[in-house]
Structure 1
Amino acid sequence: MKIAVLGAGALGCAIGGALAEAGNDVVLINRNAAQVEAIRAAGLRMRGPSGERPVAVRAERDCTRLTPMDLVIVLVKSFHTQEAIAAATPLIGGDTVVLSLQNGLGHEDVLAEAVGRERVIAGKTYVGGVMLAPGHIISGTEGKETLIGELDGSDSARVRRIASVFEAAGLCTTVSTNIMGTIWDKLLINVATGAVSGITGLTYGPLYAIPEIEATAVAAVQEAMDVARASGVALSYTDPRDAWTKAAAGLPQDFKTSMLQSLEKGSVTEIDFINGAVVRWGQRCGVPTPVNATLVACIKGIERARQAR
């Protein structure tokens, strides 16, 4: 299968490297010149439980020299989605499928507007990756599940084909007929801790020790659950506290959410595709979301203050 990974950071390299190693024609696309040159010079160096090995895979900084793909996997940061897919026109052919494996909610709408909703499928992955140096990653694919599915919940041949390609590459992949429910389930985890951690600057240990923070987080999750149900989304959660509890399961007390890490680096966060998505969907279905709206406002204020330094 001809596959392009749009946004080949640590996670994109872990997935793309596994697919390339299994014999697929893969190209990793990353704007970072050092990353691309390192992969071109020595292959993608992947470290895993069985040791380290180089994987031969193509790498490009943009799509200008590329031709249409069978599959485009989108893994850019949420706020770069529109820009990235607009620049990916050479990758889109008559039968190209575009798969978002990004965090948060709303990317599927951005992608659908750019390439047509009929081309877009969605997914969630628990695969991990850590960037050690340009072209050198720790790959966390073993036993980590990926779920993919059609936006309308249908059981299609194309999704099953993609799942089989992933499985053959050692990527444990399940076809979901409720992928939007899966996305919302994961969103609830991010809603529970991302914003409150970013606002307070706290790691999980002290964050979970403050009852007022827990109450705020649970209220934000409850709003999100109310919005999902009003929108006809089937969730696996029935109690908002379960999302708050699961968010910290198995993680150390010094764990930092990605939102806190982004703020500490002075970067824009993915708030618009997490709590902000809850607010937008709430407006569509007439469900009030004051807690999430407040969290969004606070994060945006912190973003502006840090960028002004």
Structure 2
Amino acid sequence: MIAALACAPMAEAKTNPALPDMTATLREQRVESASVALIRKGRIVATAAWGMAGPGRAASVATPYNLASLTKPLTAEVILRLVSAGQLSLDAPIDRYWSDPDLARDPRRMKLTVRMALSHRTGFPNWRDSNGLAFDFDPGTATRYSGEGYQYAARYAEHRTGQAFETLAARWLFAPVRMRATGYVSAQGVTQPIATPHDADGAPLPVEPVARYNAADLAHATARDYARFMIAARNDRGLDATIAAERSRSQADLTAEICSGAKAASCPPWIGFGLGWQLLGFAGGTTMLHTGKDPGAFTFAAIDRARGDGIVILTNSDNGWRVILPILERTGSDPKLIAFLRGQMS
């Protein structure tokens, strides 16, 4: 199955059926704007945007949004392509090439690997505090969501290749996948303004320029660009067969944590962290899923690896989570995914 996916064409469909108008739903849920790209059978079939990207500025399909934690799958993809090319290792100790100065006196740093970083098993907190970076538990012994782990993997990539991570991302991912409106540093004023974040009351929040890349957060893209990336990821483009197989495998089981009690009724047989994505192991095939949340932004992306059906939803509101289910329902998205998400919210 993986070999067949790797050979699948990446071209977008010529047809562009209209997405349902979500303007009324956004207004009801107090969401300033949303931009959506719909994927069917591995092709982008429709894109649309509704609402206001900023004061006096209507959202369009060309408006970049803060991806929030949807940044993490981008970073993972760059690193996995470098692993496939033999320039990085998935399981060799990162410490051979680089370690954070904060960990200089902690021998546990020598256990850290890229696999642990991309599957949230480094032992790091989500972000370091004012005292610096430290382990909360031994690497590889438990699972905890960590942006620091992704930063660590990106710094390893820089030190081993001798190239800045933004340069690596542009060469290995953004250019070959034609992600022209995507980047790690702020595009504010370069192409067009990023969608302005808004709080739950609808007040605009300041847009802070991003001058230094963050491997786990704050990258920006249009919904179409991110959909192009998801199609490439679903097709395992740029990966060798071994790494492609690893992408489909749960690296850290989350079933007991996520599917306890009444929530088990709508859960798939298994759930886990993969390499860059959360994986939902439905009976008919695995879905790659990720969400993102920052002040004034909520984002969502999912794609069924077997069928190639997926969606990208980007919003510029603290209330953005409220429109995810309505958009999934109105676009005829996977009923199993909708039931799972509804169960998680109950």
The structure whose RCO (Cα within 8 Å, separation 6+) is larger is 2
TM-score (norm 1): 0.26
